[in-house]
Structure formats: structure tokens, C-alpha cells
Amino acid sequence: MNFLSGKHILVGVCGGIAAYKSAELVRLLRGAGARVRVVMTASAGEFVGPRTFQALTGEAVWQGWSDDRSGMDHIELARWADRVLIAPATADVLARLAQGRADDLLAAICLATSAPLLVAPAMNQAMWGHPATQANAAVLCERGVRLCGPATGEQACGDIGAGRMLEPPLLLQAISDSFGRGLLAGLKVLVTAGPTREALDPVRFLSNRSSGKMGYAVAAAAREAGAEVTLISGPVSLDRPAGVALVRVESAQQMLEAVMQRAGACDIFVAAAAVADYQPAETASRKLKRQSAELTLKLKPAPDILATVAGLPAAPFCVGFAAETENLRHNAHKKRLGKGIAMLAANLVGPDLGFDVDENALLVVWEGGELHIEKDTKYRVALRLVEQIAGRYQASPHDKHTESHAEHSA
Ligand SMILES: Cc1cc2nc3c(=O)[nH]c(=O)nc-3n(C[C@H](O)[C@H](O)[C@H](O)COP(=O)(O)O)c2cc1C
């Protein structure tokens, strides 16, 4: 599976001898289908020219604040990136990042981005081995920065030791792994998506405007993060995401049954479907005839799938969705607590927002925290959400749950 296709990779190039290898890295990333933007430090320009990267990426290259086009490029690039990879990373940039400095464009982007940051140190072995550099690298690792390399071998200066930049194919692998493996690798994820249809009679039903796009995007993003994904979908006109097992259902009751058959064996349950709150108290077995008198429909509550799963003795890590027309934050926290779930992703719905559109923005809330995911395509919002789910899942006490799985497979 190609995890890099369509991903936004921001490559930071610093002033080191290995900068010439960054051109090959960019070429490989493009070949894997990624969109690449290059930000060079001022020193990098002394080692390799911007035109090389411009030609390889098909995009403008940023060499510093003077290339700022919008006046806010550091923020826009920070938001644009799915991953930031600094290769080569000099001793100096490691020091700047460790200190949280923002006195050049690349360092400012690293502060502003919520995308995972990977750095590929490249320097003389004595510079790499110096306690100052080692301390800076340790600080960055503690903050979650992924250190790629350095490799050991012969250096440009003639020394032999640790400090060579990892070769571009290995960096390509590292960045691909950061999407494809790791985050949800080895986990089973169950996702619901789309609307449900609650039959009034053999030809009519009550439903809602959900297109299923958000749930399908979550399923695709979870698959890309290495999970084994089952998607239980109400009636939608979307293709099955690659590598995802799809179960089609119509009503809330059918969705509940399909979920409950699988909930005990999943690690994470994401309830993105817009399940009916109410269903007709009775479904007529024959088509209801038109009458001149008013017709009153009697409704009863539909099954609450999320609350049912969350109430299981060994419940999976549950993530709910809430479509709200007002008071987003207040209602999000209230609904999360009310359902007894670990995480809730809330979005405002209304004209051009939420349902049946290609873009979305989310407020994700959990115990003691929240994250606003800016408006973007539903797929890119889903990637961010899945990263957050993976982080919260890893931080949650799910031992009980894993034990119950061990019993299952025994
Ligand atoms: C010829 C030459 C080669 C250099 N090679 C490296 C290197 O491989 N790694 C490194 O960390 N610094 C190296 N430096 C030092 C950096 O260029 C210098 O610290 C610079 O300020 C780094 O800026 P930057 O981190 O903004 O790119 C080299 C300097 C020169 C003149």
C-alpha cells in the first residue's frame, strides 16, 4: 500500500554537505505520489540551489522570510503539512528547535505545526557526539520529534563515525512508516458511517442528510495508519475505501446488530454514522394510502449504538461524533460525558457545513483536553483525527481491554 499518495510533505533543507542528497529525497517523495514543498534555510542556499527543488517539486521554494507571499506563510505552511521532514538537519537547527526559537522560517513552521516532525541529523561525528548536540536531540525526542539516523560511516571531512545523513530511500521509508505503520498498527478499528433509514412502510422511510463521507474518510485514514478496519455503512453512494471490510446496512437496528457482532473484538470504535434518534413506532406492512385527513406519525427512540457499545464490560476505546447547530463546545463536552465515551468529535452543521459537503472542521474533546481541527477536506481532517485517536488510545488504560482480547484469541 502506498501511504504517501496525496500526502503533503514539507521538506526542510539546512546548510550541510548532505543538502545535495535532499534533491534525491524530494524526487523519491514525488515519485511516491506525495505533494512536496521545500523550505530552505539561508545557509542551505550555499550548498544547493532553490531551482533544483523548484523543478523537482513543481512548486515555489521558500528560502526565508523574504519569500513570504501571504504575510503568514509560516502558519499556512505549518497547516498545509501532513509531515515536516528536515533533511539534512544541522547541529544548529537541532539547537534552534530544542530552544523553541522562531527566528527563521523553518524553525517558525516547526513551532506552528501540529504535523509530526521528523529530523535527519547530518554533521561531523564530533559535532554529533558533542554533549550539547546529544542533549538537544534528547529534548526533541522527548517532545515526540522522530529522529531518523544519523548513520555511521565515512564522512565528507574524512572522519569515520556517526553523523551521516540517512540515505534518501531510508528517509522515504521512515516518512512512509510514519503514516502507514505505527500509529494504529495491529489494532482493530470498527467505524460506522452514513445515515440510517427507518421504514414507515415498504416504500417510505425517515432518514437524514448524512453522505457518509466523513465516516468513510475516517475508515480510510485508520486503514492508512495500519489498522484492520471494518466499516459498517448506512445507504450511501460511496466506494469502499481500499483495504477496508465493508458491511452495508439500512436501519439503526441493523447497524446495532452489525456493530454488536464485532464490538467485542475491536480495539477502537468510531461512531461516525448519523444514526436516527427516532424510528416509527410501527412499520406498516403495506404502503400507506393517501388520505385527506392529517396523518400523525408515532415515533419511538431508535437504539443508541454508541452508548450500547460504551456500556460493554470490556468496551473498546469509543469515539463519537456530534453534529450540532449551536453551542459546539458546551454540547460536545456534555455529550461525551453523557455517553460515557473517551473522545468526541463535534462539528457544526448548517448550510455548507458538515453534511453532504467535501470539507469539514472538528472540535475534538476528551477528558482534560480538546483540539480544534481546521476546516479542510474530510480526508485530511480524518488523518488529523486518527492521529489524535491513536495518541489518546495509547495514553488510555486499555489493559483490561487487551486482556479480554487475549482471552478471545486463546
Ligand atoms: C562547508 C561547510 C559545511 C558544513 N557542513 C555542515 C554539516 O554537515 N552539518 C552541520 O550541522 N553543519 C555544517 N556546517 C555548518 C552550518 O552550515 C552552519 O552551522 C549554519 O549556520 C547552519 O545553518 P542552518 O541550520 O540554518 O542551515 C557547514 C559549514 C560549512 C561552511
Question: What are the tens digits of pLDDT across the range 285-325?
Answer: 999 999 899 989 999 999 999 999 999 999 999 999 998 87
Which class for 17: exposed (0-12), middle (13-18), buried (19 or more C-beta within 10 A)? middle
Residue 50's alpha-carbon distances to 34, 56, 118, 375, in angstroms, are 19, 10, 21, 31
Count of positions (residues) in the chain = 410
Cα(18) to centroid of ligand 1, in Å? 10
Mutation test residue for ligand 1: of 20, 90, 130, the one with most atoms within 8 Å of CB:
90
Cell matching residue 9: 510533505
Has residue 403 got a pLDDT over 80?
Answer: no
Buried b (16+ CB within 10 A) or exposed e, 294-317: eeeeeeeebbbbbeebbeeeebbb
Span(s) in the chain for CATH 3.40.50.1950: 8-180
Mean pLDDT computed over 93-108: 97
Residue nearest to atom 10 of ligand 1 (CA): 90
Residues 6+ apart with CB under 8 A from 10: 36, 37, 38, 39, 77, 80, 81, 83, 84, 85, 109, 113, 115
Distance CA 138, CA 148 (A): 13
Span(s) in the chain for CATH 3.40.50.10300: 188-409
Cell matching residue 126: 564530533
The rounded percent of the chain whose pLDDT value lies above 90 is: 67
Q: Is 151 helix (H, G, I), strand (E, B) or coil?
A: strand
Q: Is the CB of 323 under 6 A from ligand 1?
A: no
Strand duo 205-206 + 198-199: pairing? antiparallel
Mutation test residue for ligand 1: of 11, 13, 17, the one with most atoms within 8 Å of CB:
17
Question: What are the tens digits of pLDDT across the range 337-371?
Answer: 999 999 999 987 766 665 667 888 899 999 888 89
Nearest partner of 390 among 158, 157, 116, judged by Cα? 116
Q: Is the CB of 48 under 6 A from ligand 1?
A: no
Residue nearest to atom 29 of ligand 1 (CA): 16
Q: Is the CB of 44 under 6 A from ligand 1?
A: yes
- DSSP assigned state of 204: -
Task: Please give the number of the atom of ligand 1 that sits closest to the Cα of 94.
Answer: 25
Q: Is the CB of 17 under 6 A from ligand 1?
A: yes
Looking at residue 356, its pLDDT comes to: 66
Q: Is the CB of 163 under 6 A from ligand 1?
A: no
Residue nearest to atom 9 of ligand 1 (CA): 123
Cα(95) to centroid of ligand 1, in Å? 13
Q: Is the CB of 247 under 6 A from ligand 1?
A: no
Cα(41) to centroid of ligand 1, in Å? 10
Q: Is the CB of 92 under 6 A from ligand 1?
A: yes
Residue nearest to atom 17 of ligand 1 (CA): 15
Phi, psi of 297 (to 5 degrees): -95, 135
Has residue 242 got a pLDDT over 90?
Answer: no
Cα(21) to centroid of ligand 1, in Å? 15
Which class for 352: exposed (0-12), middle (13-18), buried (19 or more C-beta within 10 A)? exposed
309: left (phi over 0), alpha (psi -120 to 50) or beta: alpha
Has residue 223 got a pLDDT over 90?
Answer: no
Q: Which residues are catalytic?
A: 157
101 — pLDDT class (breaks 50, 70, 90): very high
Q: Is the pTM of this model over 0.85?
A: no
Cell matching residue 344: 468526541
Distance CA 215, CA 193 (A): 4
| Mean pLDDT, the chain, integer | 90
Strand duo 278-280 + 299-301: pairing? antiparallel
Regarding the domain with residue range 8-180, which homologous superfamily does it belong to in the CATH classification? Flavin prenyltransferase-like (3.40.50.1950)
Task: Judge contact between 278 and 301, C-beta under 8 A.
Answer: yes
For domain 188-409, which CATH number applies: 3.30.930.10, 1.10.1740.10, 3.40.50.720, 3.40.50.10300?
Answer: 3.40.50.10300
Mean pLDDT computed over 81-98: 97
